[in-house]
Amino acid sequence: MKNILDFLIGFTVDSHTITAVQMTTRSVIVFFVALALLRLSGKRTFGGSTAFDMVVKIMLGAVLSRAVVAASPFGARCWPALCW
């Protein structure tokens, strides 16, 4: 089981050793985590168009994108997003 998860997600890979399969799996996981967070937060969370809302949207996208391309360890980027 650990070999399958390592092949699909690659918890210990970096940006130089990540494969296309791992990047695809990570992007699907990050998409559904972000979708769940937005659904839990409600319709009005990102409904406003203040400058602060735009900054939060950009920061959230930047943090989650680092998990997809293995710029940071995968678990280190997903857990703070889930706890936030």
- Report pLDDT for 4: 81
Structure tokens at 78: 């997903």
Pairwise pLDDT comparison (13 vs 82), residue with the higher score: 13
* Mean pLDDT, residues 19-40 taken together: 86
Tell me which amino acid residue 11 is: F
Cα 51 to Cα 44, 48, 57: the distances in Å are: 15, 9, 10
R_g of the chain computed on alpha carbons: 14
49-73 confidence digits (pLDDT tens): 788 877 877 888 888 888 888 776 6
Region of 29 on the Ramachandran plot (φ > 0 left; ψ -120 to 50 alpha; else beta): alpha
Q: What is the pTM of this model?
A: 0.69
Find the length of the chain: 84
